[in-house]
Structure formats: structure tokens, C-alpha cells
Amino acid sequence: MDKSYFLYSDLDRTWFFLVPTEVELPEGDCTIITLLGQERQVDPAALEPYVVPRELAEAYLSGQMRRGLEHVSESVLDFLKALYNRRQAGPDPNATRWNVDFLADLFDQPADAVRHDPEATKQGLLDLFAEAAYFFDSVKSGDEDRLAIARQQVAGFTDVLRRHGIQVDDAIHDLPDYLAQVYRRAPDE
């Protein structure tokens, strides 16, 4: 699918609609909802051409998330390559400052602590791993309050990456809800 689409469903998530972004749906008495819970009232007749089976809706959503994650992965890989190339080029005080500033921002610690205190850097890494574990526990829990915290974690992480020149696709913000939906559908272990 080369075009951009909005994915909607009915409130019970039994009907799915893949609507091209350029299509303006007229108002009506049929409630549709996005994955993130944003509701719209539209004319039910206007939805008929856009009905898709659940499998296609899930495939579309999976593809969107995969593209978003690929974009993040490419950005992080580009970042790591740039770090490697800077290291190969020899000492550069600006690059070192940038790396320290990035880690300080990522660890939510002062740059001097990251630069001069290995224990602070170690604690920053441990905290980052703990936050990642909490993120996955939150999306797996299905609890709406914890899911809201997971959304905030993604937003914060995205902000840190963007502040340091790493571009991240906006689709990454849907990751907590997508993972929560995957966990809800997964058979109990």
C-alpha cells in the first residue's frame, strides 16, 4: 500500500475501515474509533467502500509499526555509525561533549556525572534497563493508567533522540497501544 490511510473500527472492534487520508468522511450517526481511542461520528454509508477484514487491518497496523520500528532502528544505527566514524577520525572535543550530553540526557543525569563518575553512568544504564522492563510490563498489563505511563515513556525517549539529531517516525507513539493489543490477543502462557 503506497497511499496513507487511517485505520478505524467500530466501538466493539468487530468492523474495520481503512480510509485513505485524503478522503473526508461526512458526519453522521455511526461512531468509529482509532486504535488510540479517538472517536468520530460519520455517515455509515460513507464507510462501506472502506470495510476491510480484521486480518487486513492487523496486517496494515503491523506493517505501519514495523516501518516505524525500522525507521527508529535505522536512525539508531546511523547514530552508532556516526559515533564510530568520529572515533576513527581521532579525538574531537565537540564529539565527546555531544556523546556525553546525549548520555546525560538519556540517563537524566548531569553531564559532569556521566563524564567523571563511572558509577553514575552505570546507574544510568541500570535505570534505563529498568524503565524498559517497566514499559513492557505496563503494556502487557492492559491497565489503562500504566499504558498512559508507557505512552509518556515513548514520548520522552523520542524527545531525547530528536534533541540529539536522531529522527524518529511519529508512528513510534502508537507502539504502546499496539503492543498492548498484541498481548491482549496472545494466548495465555
3-state secondary structure of 110: coil
**Local confidence band at 1 (pLDDT 50, 70, 90 cut-offs):** very low
The answer on 157 and 102 residing in a single domain is yes
pLDDT digits (tens, 9 = 90+) for 44-70: 999 999 999 988 988 888 777 777 667
What residue numbers bound the domain in which 142 lies? Answer: 70-185
The answer on 143 and 99 residing in a single domain is yes
Write the DSSP assignment of 20-81 as a string of letters. ETT--PPP-SEEEE-TT--EEEE-HHHHGGGEE-HHHHHHHHHHHHHHHHHHHHHHHHHHHH
pLDDT of residue 127: 83
Would you tell me the crossing angle of helices 144-163 and 93-107 to the nearest 10 degrees? 170
Contact in structure between 155 and 130 (CB atoms under 8 Å): no
Residue 65 falls within a domain, yes or no? no
What is the CA angle 175-179-185, rounded to 5?
150
**Local confidence band at 142 (pLDDT 50, 70, 90 cut-offs):** confident
Residue 163 falls within a domain, yes or no? yes
Which grid cell sits at 74?
Answer: 535505522
Segment 71-87 mean pLDDT: 64
Residue 62 falls within a domain, yes or no? no
Is the pLDDT score of 125 beyond 90? no
State how far the Cα of 48 lies from the Cα of 16, in Å rounded to an integer. 10
**Percent of the chain at pLDDT above 70?**
79
pLDDT of residue 43: 96
pLDDT of residue 50: 95
The answer on 124 and 96 residing in a single domain is yes
Residue 75 falls within a domain, yes or no? yes
Is the pLDDT score of 90 beyond 80? no
The answer on 112 and 31 residing in a single domain is no
The answer on 91 and 36 residing in a single domain is no
Which grid cell sits at 79?
Answer: 547514530
| Count of Cβ atoms closer than 10 Å to residue 10 Cβ | 15
For the chain, what is the mean pLDDT?
80
Question: Who's near 39: CB < 8 A, 6+ residues apart?
Answer: 11, 31, 32, 33
The total number of structural domains that make up the chain:
2
Segment 31-37 mean pLDDT: 81
